[in-house]
Chain A
Amino acid sequence: MTYIKPTFRHPGLKKNKVGYVRADYEGAISTLCAGCGHDSISGAIVQACFEMSVEPHRLAKLSGIGCSSKTPTYFLSNSHGFNSVHGRMPSVTTGANMANRDLIYLGVSGDGDTASIGMGQFVHAVRRNLNMAYIVMNNGCYGLTKGQDSATTDFGSISKSSGLNDSFQAIDLVGMALELGATFVGRSFSGDKDQLVPMIKAAMSHPGFAFIDCISPCVTFNNNKGSTKSYQFVRDHQEATSTIDFVPHEEEITVDYEAGTSTSVALHDGSKIHLDKLSPNWDPTDRYSAVMRLQEAKLTGDILTGLLYIDPKSRGLHDLMKTSKRPLNSLQEEDLCPGSAALEGINAGFR
């Protein structure tokens, strides 16, 4: 069931640069379980879009199937949304992006939706460097079908409905994305808004495939003692590569950072990602160092979060394909139809 929220707005509410208040970025009231990590991520998306002054109608939100994939109903009601079929959000987003290169594409998926049924499409969206932000709300289980283990359930983790996983190793989507050549890879935690909000902003600004694996506890099926995706476990084991700030292109960096432990990455549109308190031996633009940090964290049993890798020279799929700068969906008959005269020549070629 979806509830309609009261639309009363306080006149004094702060507006962003495009004239919207924060509530304009909200969606219908969530029907997820109270305390579900996914709702916090929805909140982070709302905040990121509001602060970034995204015009809601210039963003399209897409998802697959699952509790996580339901969330687009719960944010950005002024954006077009598309709840597709299980595991196939990447292809729908690819087509949408082909049709209109000028919108922001925000894809939301779950660990079941991405790491099992949708693995193929995920891999190929990475490979194409499709210009989109792709967030996996990773709870290590299939929430919507009542908590079965997923492909990201850690070995040795215990869940309410599946018990101890003593059979299979987990697929680490972040490690995989790095191997596949993803141009933006981050991991975060639904309980860490300070990290997640700027990371979403950076992902939406990145020209190419921006992947965020966001650990998002399922309070109903996988938040118990012994689960490696519980709030408590993640809080106890989280280790960040750095703090992250996103600075839109027209703003100045106002914080003083300590020399030697921070760095800035300039994005294509002039905005900057500022990273502070860097992990040792790690450079966010060096894929190899990211892979190494990830492996080290695994050995020490830590959950490495933060922006792990970004390729500042990334170019999106349209540039690779050399498609028109004009969105294809704006082309009219006169641009598209060669007309009868051209057909004469074509016919002649078949005689």
Chain B
Amino acid sequence: MDIINDMVVRFANVNGTGSASANNMFAKTIFRMGIPVSPKNIFPSNIQGLPTWYEVRINKDGYLGRRTGIDLLVGVNPQSLKKDIASVKSGGYFVYDSTRKLHAEFIREDINYIGIPMMKLSMEHYQVPRLQQLFKNIIYVGALVALLDIEMKVIKNIVDEQFAKKPKLIPNNYKALDLGYDFAKANYECPLKYRLERMDGVGDSILIEGNEATGLGAIYGGATVMAWYPITPSTSVAKGFETHCKKLRVDADGRKNYAFVQAEDELAAMGMVIGATWNGSRAFTATSGPGVSLMSEFIGLAYFAEIPVTLVNVQRGGPSTGMPTRTQQPDIISTIYASHGDTKHISLFPSTPTECFEMMADCLDLADRFQTPVMMISDLDLGMNSHMCPPLKWDDTRKYDRGKVYDAEDLERIKEFGRYLDVDDDGICYRTIPGTHPTKGSFFTRGTSRDEYAKYTEDGDTYVRVVNRLLKKWETAKSYVPIPEVTEAKEKTDMGIIFFGTTRYSALEAMDLFEKEGIYLDALRIKAVPFNQTVEDFINSHEQIFVIEQNRDGQMRSVLMNELDADPKKLTAILNYDGMPITAATIMERIGQHLPALV
């Protein structure tokens, strides 16, 4: 029986050989055929030479989480050949470069081999060695067009778009596609039993990387200063911001309505953000775990001196340098509670690029509203992989929430100015921006304890008043942060799952699969800390809750216990932390161990 629009295709390449663009082309073509697709880069911390993989899940039902079990693998990396062949599912296909014969030790009886003489074809048609290497990649894509029944017209359109500015390159790319296609057609029965068929499964979705959407969100949210220091997997946030700023934020006279500063390190990046927001701009930084560690002292300053900060943490595998090119959710505690002393920070957890865009603008609003650091906690999987998601939307009637800022007129009007006076009794005070008024509203910003008028004090009562007011602010924030997404099971149940961020994909898939087995789980996706009432209610209304996350220590579970005094016995940690995106199968297997019904 043919298997249509449901498979995992993996490419095994050598890093730095130009395979990325060919592989992206493959995924985009499937997307344009209306088929839900979810590509993932599995790459080394290396620029050239080490193995890299690109894994594409194609799923007609729209399940976009990672799935193990490779149906077709294109293996062009001799270093990883053995491992790659072993990774193919029984009955699956291994597509390889047959320029050289496969050694007998690589032959498995239970899989199918498809040899395409990629390098040979390339060398026969292209002279320059660099091009031979590049077009070898396009040749295997061409072969897949035949093998999987991809629409050639669609992929050639993509070539046209990609080389619109260098049309001379188009014929060579076409030729490479045709070479692979013709060879496969002539030598193999095409299509294979795994094949693709145009469908209407993507609607008006877009295919975009989370980090680029984050950069765009910062532009739409009105950020004018970005300070950053390169670190995988956050660097493309900076790139996204800058690339789109060049198009969207330059005046007719060529002057920029933004400042993009590559700092000397993460400490400086955070200092710059603090200086800029203190001075009335919207500013942000993007980093990963090691960067957050370095920024910690400054984060405490911003918390205590009450300065808006927006920090994007695109998490990667820790601790230390850890697995810099693998995904995890390991910085939940260290980001929410970053810095010494009693600190805690408003944090948002996007799970799609669309949410990266929206939440980034929300973070900038929240930072101004609450005059405090606001964290957007994403991860490598979301940030650096393309995800199929709803289009980015902006409501033109939306106004930036610049929070409580006195301007010159306000200062004339009010009786007295105290930077840290809780005038509205919500824990949030009014600030002034330097340069506002000649004689009123100036104050001294400091990280030392101070009174309501920003005067230095070591008085214990005053200190307690100030830090308790910060807690009141935290309470106020509960009604401002995004509320969680609750998905109820088809039948009433006292079991639930809690998850956040990219775990969403596989968690929802697992929920559906469980349902088919007659096991019902309600689901709650956390979108923000502080937790609002919905989270508390969800925990209270279920007997057993599985907290699914991608770290070793069940960090979000700890935060739930810490912030809500939730009963630890009720909360079971379901964890995956091998650096690969969590799968529905893993979730089911690990939850299954706790379900008597399945034993």
Contact = CB atoms under 8 A, between A and B. Distances in A.
Interface string A311-351: 00000000001111100110101011111101100110011
Contacts of A321: 256, 259-260
Contacts of A17: none
Contacts of B269: 91
Interface in A69-99: 72-73, 77-85, 88, 90-99
Given A121-B271, A324-B257, A338 B220 contact: yes
Q: Which 6 A-B pairs have the closest CB atoms?
A: A95-B275, A91-B271, A95-B272, A99-B281, A80-B434, A329-B280
Interface residues of B, number: 73
B265 interface: yes
B274 interface: yes
B282 to A, nearest CB: 8
Contacts of A324: 251, 255-257
Given A78-B442, A123-B264, A336-B249, 16 more contacts: A57-B442, A80-B442, A80-B445, A88-B297, A91-B263, A91-B271, A92-B274, A94-B261, A95-B276, A96-B276, A96-B279, A98-B272, A98-B276, A124-B263, A333-B400, A346-B216
B182 to A, nearest CB: 29
B442 A88 contact: no
A346 B244 CA distance: 9
A42 B475 CA distance: 42
Contacts of A301: none
Given A324-B257, A351-B32, A57 B434 contact: yes
A62 B447 CA distance: 13
A343 B220 CA distance: 9
Given A99-B225, A350-B206, A329 B433 contact: yes
Given A57-B437, A79-B442, A92 B255 contact: no
B438 A85 contact: no
Interface stretch (B52-60, B107-115, B390-398): B390-398
B264 A121 contact: yes
A325 B392 CA distance: 31
A250 B220 CA distance: 44
Given A324-B251, A331-B257, A347-B392, A99 B446 contact: no
A154 interface: no
B163 interface: no
A55 interface: yes
B456 interface: yes
15 contacts: A57-B435, A57-B438, A82-B278, A83-B448, A88-B297, A96-B275, A96-B279, A99-B279, A99-B283, A100-B281, A121-B264, A324-B257, A336-B249, A340-B395, A340-B396
A93 B434 CA distance: 12
B399 interface: yes
B208 A350 contact: yes
A257 B283 CA distance: 50
Contacts of B273: 95
Contacts of A342: 248
A325 B301 CA distance: 30
A58 interface: yes
Interface string B387-410: 000011111100110000000000
A50 to B, nearest CB: 15
Contacts of A84: 271, 274, 301, 447
B443 interface: yes
Contacts of A55: 438
Contact of B456 (A2, A58, A77): A2
B310 interface: no
The residue in A99, A121, A323, A336 that gathers the most chain B C-beta atoms within 10 A of its C-beta is A99
Given A121-B268, A350-B206, A331 B274 contact: no
Interface string A179-204: 00000000000000000000000000
A103 B395 CA distance: 34
The residue in B224, B263, B279, B396 that gathers the most chain A C-beta atoms within 10 A of its C-beta is B279
A92 B206 contact: no
A134 to B, nearest CB: 14
A296 interface: no
A91 B267 contact: yes
Given A80-B443, A328-B257, A85 B301 contact: yes
Contact of B442 (A1, A77, A83): A77
Nearest to A77: B442
Nearest to A94: B272
Contacts of B392: 343, 346-347
B258 A323 contact: yes
B224 A88 contact: no
B455 interface: yes
B187 interface: no
B207 interface: yes
A346 B400 CA distance: 21
A163 interface: no
Nearest to B300: A85
A95 B206 contact: no
